[in-house]
Structure 1
Amino acid sequence: MLWLRRVFYVLLIASFISFALLHNYSAIQDCHFPSPSPRVPRWTPRFISPQSQAPFRLLAFGDPQLEGDTSIPNVIRDSYRPSKLRLRLSQNRNPIKVLLEAVTDFFQYGILGALYKLRKQADLIGNDYYLAHIYQTLQRQTDPTHVTVLGDLLGSQWIDDTEFERRARRYWKRVFKNGIRVEDEITEEPTMEVLGEDKSWKQRIINIAGNHDIGYAGDLTKARLARFERAFGAPNWEIVFQVPSDRGDPAYLRLIILNSMNLDTPALDGNLQSQTYKSLNDIITRSEAVENRSVGTILLTHIPLHKQEGVCADAPYFSYGSNGHIREQNHLSEHSSRSILEGVFGISGNTRAPYHGLGRKGIIINGHDHEGCDVWHYLPRISSEADASSRQWNASRYEDSFLLTRATTVQKDDQYMPGIREVTLRSMMGEYGGWAYLVSGWVDNKTNEWRFEVSKCSAGVQHIWWAVHILVLATAGIGGFLGISSLLGSSSKPAASVSIPTAHKRVPSITLTPVYEDAISPTSSVPRPPSPFDHFNGNMEMSGGRARRRRSS
């Protein structure tokens, strides 16, 4: 057992180190929200430096896509179907050959299928805890003010209601444990509240509807939308957060949640599409004037805006079903994208328009493209409305956008190309690296305008999570075996003699004279040792304590 103990000690050290690294990966990678004060070290406590953290910190995840029973094979059905089919079609065949084929089918579809089913079930459970590990680690270590999931919460829009409820339960009880649904009282009507006063926002999960949740425009029904709303919250709503300022008037942050699944046509349900259009028009109507730079806007939706091929992994793509409705799309159409960019954010590119056509400060965050993308949507400058018909929205990688901000201008005071940043989140699924995005928003003290910055953090592929936990379980198993073996071994040994300690004072030794058997029993046959008085032959008698010879008569 000595070699097993050595293996156990090695595994124990490896388990401790790997487990600690796994649950502190965000600290090791220096994952943190961008700060308005880059000169202040990120680890500075907020009570020491209040400006070391942005007032708005959004922890964003994309496309967890929880799978369920549709991905697990029916072993009973699949194992016996081939065998029954062979037996049914084998009346005129060799029965031995038929039997061998049936046994082969049962082994292939039954035994191997059962093992595959068990592996798939374990994989689903492990995937839930892997996603939960990402959420809980970043929630604990980065201190967000808000949390959102950008659509495709579940893996299929075609599942029945029972399976939908089962996956929704896993979503809330396992993946985003302790997270809560945004209450209807908040989403029914546009509301305003002071940012930071309601601490419950840290536990609320802002859920965005995705195609795997409610379907594309061609298969979005009232029933699918209703069950999503019951489980995860409203698909269209907005809220305004007031941010107090020490410099005077407060700033405002507008958070918009938009269902983009039926913005494009043709749609299956025209009434549902009309409701989405009304929500979008209300959002545009309630927008502040573009000159009001104290208002920032964050748009959360699922489908990315239109962009030309080559900018991101997904190129523009639409497909239609047999009924002519949209069956699948990678981006929004150019028309829908333009409605958002020019309507919600007020970007015109016209130098004679309010605030030189630059539009409102803001950022767009979405999902859908699992590879992720970070782009800058921009408009060329125009000097009059007559040139508006010839302008086209373009997009480029965000890291190249600094070249556009200093492109050719019409007037000297127009320093920037009008545009806005769109961040498409890389999926948090294990095969894509378990990504999360940290979005910060604050008012810049120099420009007195809102500024938004984004950082991202990866937990690594799911195999790392599996390897660490298998290592921990193996170590625990070996440790338990050694512990039980030690207990069983100690119980089988004889009881050891117990010595009673004596006083420190030395006890004199006593020599004991042996007592012979004949002294106890004269009739004993045991021989008596010789005595020095034997030569008197019994003629001695005791008198006055001295022996004398007996006289013969």
Structure 2
Amino acid sequence: MGVLKKVAWTTTYIAIFLNIYIYTYPSLDSQKCYWSHEYRDYDSLSSIEKTIIQLPYFGDLYKQYFVPDNAKKIDNYPRDIRMMAVGDPQLNGNWPNTPLFKKIDNFGNDYYLRHVYQVMKKRLDPNFVSMMGDLVSSQWIGDSEFYNRTRRIIQRSFPRPESQCSFELKYVNDHIDTDWEKYMGEFYDNLNSGKFKERELFEFKDVYDWYNGTFIDPNTKSNTEPLFLNITGNHDIGYGDTTFQHMARWEKLFGLANFWIEYDNDTDHPWRIVMLNSLALDGPMLQPEFQKYTWDFLEALNKTDYHGSTILLTHIPMYKREGLCKDGPNFEYYTASGCHGCVPERVGLLKSQNHLSKDTSRKVLDVVFGKGKSGIILTGHDHYGCDNYINFINEDDGWVADKNITSDKWIREITVRSIMGDFDGTMGIMTGHFNTEEKNWEFDYTQCVFIIQHVWWATQVTTLISILLHSFAFFF
């Protein structure tokens, strides 16, 4: 029995250590795991407190729990833009022939993602959460499985208050069939009438809450729950094989594929978020109507004559030469031999791409950033993540990506590293700060790295074993 108690306490010490680590890991690398600007009242601290906060790790913990961040106070204008970026979670599903171990792994993965999200959300209190696409692992799943993974996303992996996603939950729980034929009919009406070239279909103003102000603090006028921005990924809707069924259910549960939100237009610091479905830009596509729709959207955006700063959110990165990122330029198209039983109509369609084409990238950049001021691009797709500057050279050479700033006009492009366990549960942190002297928005980006999923699993297992061993030692 003495041996059992020793093993129980040894396991307990390991479990305690692991739990402390997984819940406080951001404090080990606090500069990369926080916004670029802090708003804490350090002047009111005692000399002892000031000494404590200078300590590595412990100082950051003390700040988080005992020195409040005043960034959302109403008199703190212009407020910083605070956005957490979630790269390609790619939730897998379970099928009748899925091995039990894989089912357990999928279940644990949901809670691994949940852990990363909740630790960072509590620490950062963001205004926005940008889901960088590929929320699910395959677009070729039926509605039932798509609904099941949607439920897991909004309740388990990236949970939010039930009242904030009541429509989505009712939709998936009641398994309401998405009327894609009605969606298609309305789509064609808008396409043929030219409405997709009108800004009114895509333009929003000062949105911090999609739910009629339910999550807006009446005192600070800031959002108490972050605004979720869901970007279309190739595993969500497909590349050239996107169908009306794919688009109808995506937009019903995750929002429009293309839109923009303008903020603070009546001030000296206007800025906007542009959401772009980059899967429907290059083609060729099974439904070329989606390609025309997306270019019509860009035409509508171009008509805004916007001169503020822009945050572009899209899934496929801009074109860049080989060697700047893990993924180099690459396009693949369906062939008859490699189509694996698909309909002949899919042969020749776009099967995959690492970047947008060079010509498409230039057109997008000209529309989104050609007239405005500073900005930043956040993309997904390349799970390893990447960081580049896209410099405007001249009218002949256009925009050219590089690791350095080589021109007076440039945009930083961040490919957000995946949050999946194989990529260490990384969370992207983007801060927009208005420089009141330069009268310009400045954008900063860091990535807060957790750890490979096996350590999270080890924490859960050792905690459970510790409880069981102490129970045995108590009763026997």
TM-score range, shorter chain: 0.7 to 0.9
Q: How far off is 1:38 after superposition?
A: 12
The worse-fitting range, judged by mean Cα deviation, of 37-46 and 465-474 is: 37-46
The share of aligned pairs that are identical, in percent, is 34
Aligned counterpart, 2:112: 130
Tell me how far 1:327 sits from its aligned partner. 0.8
Amino acid corresponding to residue 431 of structure 2 in structure 1: S
| Distance across 2 between alignment mates of 1:296 and 1:132 | 32
CA contact (8 A) 2:38 2:69 kept: no
The alpha-carbon deviation at position 226 of structure 1 amounts to: 0.8
Match of 2:402 in 1: 396
Do the aligned partners of 1:373 and 1:423 also contact (CA within 8 Å) in 2?
yes
1:366 equivalent in structure 2: 379
CA apart distance, 1:250: 4.4
Aligned to 2:276: 258
**Contact residue 372 and residue 426 of structure 1 kept, 8 A:** yes
Alignment of 1:521-532 (within 5 A): none
CA positional deviation for 1:369: 0.4
Unaligned runs of 5+ in 2: 43-52, 54-59, 169-199, 209-215, 336-346
User: 1:316 is aligned with what amino acid?
Assistant: P
Which one of 35, 39, 42 corresponds to residue 37 of structure 2? 35
* Structure 1 match to 2:228: 205
> How far, CA to CA, are the matches of 2:38 and 2:2 in structure 1?
57
Q: Unpaired segments of 5 or more residues in structure 1?
A: 75-116, 290-294, 348-358, 382-387, 405-415, 486-553
Instruction: Indicate how the Cα distance of structure 1 residues 194 and 251 shifts in structure 2: closer, same or farther if over 3 A, else same.
Output: farther
Residue 17 of structure 1 deviates from its aligned partner by: 2.2
> Does 1:377 find its partner at 2:359?
no
Q: For residues 34-55 of structure 1, what are the alpha-carbon distances to aligned partners after superposition, in whole Å with 9 as ceiling and x for unaligned? A: 1178998884534499769952
Q: Report the alpha carbon displacement of residue 29 of structure 1 after superposing the two structures with TM.
A: 2.1
Q: 1:274 aligns with which of 283, 288, 292?
A: 292
2:248 is aligned to 226
Residue 66 (structure 1) aligned to one of 91, 99, 106: 91
Give 1:138's aligned amino acid. Answer: M
Equivalent pairs counted in the alignment come to: 397
What amino acid is the match of 1:3?
V
Could you say which structure has the greater relative contact order, defined with CA pairs below 8 angstroms and 6 or more residues apart? 2
Q: How does 1:211-360 map onto structure 2 within 5 Å?
A: 211-216=234-239, 218-242=240-264, 249-289=267-307, 295-322=308-335, 323-346=347-370, 359-360=372-373
For 1:29, the aligned partner's letter is D
**Letter of the 1:484 counterpart:** F
* Matched residue SS, 1:24: helix
Distance in structure 2 (CA, Å) of the matches to 1:278 and 1:228 = 20
Find the aligned partners of 1:132 and 1:46 in 2 and give their Cα distance: 23
Alpha carbons 2:111, 2:156 under 8 Å: kept: yes
Code of the residue aligned with 1:374 in structure 2: it is D
The letter of the residue matching 1:417 is D
Structure with larger Rg? 1
Aligned to 2:24: 24
Separation (CA, whole Å) in 2 of partners of 1:319 and 1:60: 28
- Residues 125-163 of structure 1 show CA distances to partners (whole Å, capped at 9, x for unaligned) of 000000000100000011211111100000001111111
Name 1:142's counterpart in structure 2. 124
Q: What is the Cα deviation at residue 325 of structure 1?
A: 1.2
> Aligned AA for 2:91?
L
Partner residue in 2 for 1:512: none
SS across alignment from 1:393: strand
CA shift in 2, pair 1:52/1:10, >3 Å: farther
Counterpart of 1:499 in structure 2 is: none
- Inter-CA distance 346–451: structure 2 relative to 1 (3 Å threshold): same
CA drift at 1:481: 1.5
| Residue 176 of structure 2 corresponds to residue 151 of structure 1 | no
2:81 maps to 56
Mapped partners of 1:394, 1:66: distance in 2: 34
* Alignment-derived partner of residue 179 in structure 2: none
Q: What's the Cα RMSD here?
A: 2.8
Change (3 A) 1:36 1:285: farther
1:530 aligned residue: none
* SS at 1:286 equivalent: coil
Contact 1:181 1:206 in 2 (8 A): no
CA contact (8 A) 2:78 2:269 kept: no
Partner of 1:15: 15
